[in-house]
Structure 1
Amino acid sequence: MSNPSPPNRCRIVLVAPTSEEAEVFGPRLLEAVAGGDVASLIIPQHGDEASFQAFAAPIVRIAQEAGLAAIIVDDTRVAGRVGADGVHIQAGKEDLADAIERWGGKLIVGAGGAASRDDALELGELQPDYMFFGRPGFDTKPEPHPRNLALGKWWAEMVEISCIVQGGSDIASVEAIAATGAEFVALSAAVFGEGIDPREAVERANAILDRAAPRLEG
């Protein structure tokens, strides 16, 4: 966590772009964190395994030194080698079950890939640490996908496991996600897109959430 006293409302999860090298993205990540409260960083796969590990190793270190939990997507071997705080399993129930069996209680283990309520409930039976609606970094449109908003709202109302909803490429999309009751909004292009100032984007997102996000219980 980048904030010693995190706000009791929807918080930001950043998603690393897959088109940048570590030496370019690292400083941009620090700029983003300087913009205010950020909970964690999700790092999607980045080329082949060797390339992914070479990218992830310095980025995990930078994220952790900045107070963020660093979460690796779909590669538990890389997660272990680079000392990540968690793994995000997008690949399916079997891989999720394996990750929870091996890493549950040691690392954060999050679930993604649910395209329906039934999918989400099936994954939720395994008790991941969070459920992600959408796909990390798939935010090519300004607004969040309506299905992800609907699933996030239903999940937040019905299930105690925290959820993250993928935001759109417009920073204003955080307001719609916060309104669902989701604990976290994932941002990638809205913060790290071409021509965007990462610090200013995170500042703006936090300002919107401070103003419009409902307070969360617990």
Structure 2
Amino acid sequence: MAAKPAPPRPAPRLYLATPVVDDPAPLVASLPGVLAAADVAAVLLRLRPADPRGMISRIKALAPAVQDSGAALLIDGHADLVARAGADGAHLTGIDALQDALPTLKPDRIAGVGGLTTRHDSMAAGEAGADYMLFGEPDARGQRPSADAIAERLQWWAELFEPPCVGFAATFDEAMEFATAGADFVLVGELIWDDSRGPAAALADAQQAIRQGHAMSGTSRSGMMPA
């Protein structure tokens, strides 16, 4: 009997990182229109450090704009604020930060992780219970692997492991390449906010690049951002 073919892998979805937010008012006003321009699975809120009450206030101000669009709201770090602010999860950097945050976030909220410089770190994060792995984001010095190296890591993960993988794309070409490599999600940030045409147009172009890359992939794998 012939093996049943695997179902086609869904096209990767977008994961949008905000600029570093101090005053949330401009983003509260613009974000609904930006998110309407493409299929965004989640928004990563990057906060300027402040006292916890001030950061919670900013999260609560932005949460409806994100969650009413159907996207999950994740906080960059600050796992201890997630539940108090009504966010959906947190993104952690490195294995130690992930393990420290898991008791706070699980089982009800998303715990994503980046800063995974080796394959061993990636597998350890998966075994620890991370909901997704991010590959390719800049480190503290602004350095990141080559696009080819990021694509290779995404392909390796997608072929062997179940938790979703996310590729950090600094260009539209990278968004296409990472979709081809097997990313479940593509994270975009400054690529969107720095575009002279405005973030909505840039986000729509990022989605188009992802769809083009997916059409060239020929792989079969499914993956959704946990709720």
Aligned residue in 1 for 2:39: 37
> In terms of mean alpha carbon deviation, does 127-136 or 10-19 score higher?
127-136
Q: Would you say 1:71 and 2:59 are equivalent positions? A: no
Q: CA deviation at 1:136?
A: 7.5
How do residues 188-199 of structure 1 correspond to structure 2 at under 5 angstroms? Answer: 188-193=189-194, 195-199=196-200
Equivalent residue for 2:109, pick from 104, 107, 110: 107
Q: Would you say 1:180 and 2:174 are equivalent positions? A: no
**Unpaired stretches in structure 1, ≥5 consecutive residues:** 1-6
Equivalent residue for 1:152, pick from 151, 154, 162: 154
Percent identity of equivalent pairs: 24
Distance in 2, Cα, partners of 1:184 & 1:115: 19
Q: Would you say 1:87 and 2:102 are equivalent positions? A: no
Distance in 2, Cα, partners of 1:206 & 1:182: 13
Whether the 8 Å contact between 2:42 and 2:72 is mirrored in structure 1 is: yes
- TM-score, length of structure 1 as denominator length: 0.84
Whether the 8 Å contact between 2:57 and 2:85 is mirrored in structure 1 is: no
Distance in 2, Cα, partners of 1:62 & 1:137: 29
Q: CA deviation at 1:107?
A: 0.3
Distance in 2, Cα, partners of 1:194 & 1:95: 32
Whether the 8 Å contact between 2:113 and 2:132 is mirrored in structure 1 is: yes
Q: Across the two proteins, how many residue pairs are aligned to each other? A: 208
Q: CA deviation at 1:106?
A: 0.5
Q: Would you say 1:57 and 2:60 are equivalent positions? A: yes
Distance in 2, Cα, partners of 1:17 & 1:58: 15
Q: Alpha-carbon deviations, 1:11-35, whole Å to 9, x = none?
A: 1000011156311122332222121
Distance in 2, Cα, partners of 1:210 & 1:135: 21
Choose 1 or 2 for highest CA Rg.
2
Q: CA deviation at 1:76?
A: 1.6
Q: CA deviation at 1:202?
A: 1.8
Question: Secondary structure of 1:16's match?
Answer: strand
**Unpaired stretches in structure 2, ≥5 consecutive residues:** 1-8, 223-227
Distance in 2, Cα, partners of 1:52 & 1:196: 30
